[in-house]
Amino acid sequence: MTVDVEDYFQVGAFENDIDRADWDALPCRVERNTDQILQMFDDAGVKATFFTLGWVAERYPDLVRRIVDSGHELASHGMAHWRVTDQTREQFREDVLRSKTLLEDVSGQKIRGYRAASFSIGERNLWALDVLEEAGFDYSSSIYPIRHDHYGMPEAPRFSFHPIEGRNFLEMPVTTVDVGGRKVPCGGGGYFRLLPYFLSKWAMSRVNSRDQQSCIFYFHPWEIDPDQPRQEQAGWKSRFRHYTNLDVMETKLRRALADFSWGRMDEIFLKN
């Protein structure tokens, strides 16, 4: 179980509609929503991995400490939700080192995992995985092995693999289910909100039983917040993707928490 800790105005869908210079002037809801998630996990007895923006950690260090104190894994989501595809190798290196150092300083924990903004590591920038390994990360969960208009690497393996020869570094793709030889998303996010719950449950159960693999599921704090400020200036597709079924997301999440056994990325996939 994973959470990408970012606020509603930082999502990729609104990157052309909300100026980064305005972020600090907008009403933040990430602390409130993440605290609600922490309570939801506590109610279900679930431990998870929180891929957290450095931007959030700088402004809400006590929230970061509450995540760790609750027994969850803290991991990096970069500093400010820049897509890897929009960065040079050196810019990316600086970003991941800065976020890793910040999160470790705030939490007192070693940061072992990283997830790229908008799953923006793929066939054209696999060098990013080398940078992450060199920076001291043990794993990434940044590749989505599907075809999508914003991201995706369809030819990537469906399950965890070693992308760097001779190294223990792992890439752990978000989960897909094989339907007639086609990879279909079933690892959370907008797909989980849009589809009926029984389909998501069937798909994850199929991965568990047929593939004998753990599922990697993700969602965002803003996805349980139907009262967040609306971005009416955004295009209809962005608004549809972002706002559909926000009012039922928490109920569906609670069902998933009860129907499956969940854990932290590091405890499930890393040997030590």
Structure tokens of 207? Answer: 């991965």
- Identity of the residue numbered 242: H
Structural domain boundaries, residue 152: 2-269
pTM of the model: 0.96
User: pLDDT value at position 150?
Assistant: 64
Question: 46-70 in b/e burial notation, b at 16+ Cβ within 10 A?
Answer: bbbbbbbbbbbbeebeebbbebbee
Give the largest Cα separation in the chain, rounded.
49
User: pLDDT value at position 52?
Assistant: 98
Determine the length of the chain: 272
Question: 203: domain CATH number?
Answer: 3.20.20.370
If you average pLDDT over residues 248-269, what whole number do you get?
A: 98
List pLDDT tens digits, range 20-65.
999 999 999 999 999 999 999 999 999 999 999 999 999 999 999 9
Structure tokens of 231? Answer: 């971005």
List pLDDT tens digits, range 140-157.
999 999 876 666 688 899
Please state, in angstroms and as integers, the Cα–Cα distance from residue 13 to each residue in 35, 118, 126, 134, 254, following that order: 24, 9, 23, 30, 26
Percent of the chain, pLDDT > 70?
98
What is the rounded average pLDDT for all residues in the chain? 95
User: pLDDT value at position 261?
Assistant: 98
SS3 214: coil
Q: Is the pLDDT of residue 257 over 80?
A: yes
Helix residue ranges, H only, the chain: 30-44, 54-59, 61-69, 89-107, 127-134, 189-194, 197-210, 236-243, 246-259, 265-269
Residues forming beta bridges with residue 184, ordered by sequence position: 177
Domain count for the chain: 1
User: H or E stretch including 171?
Assistant: strand 170-171
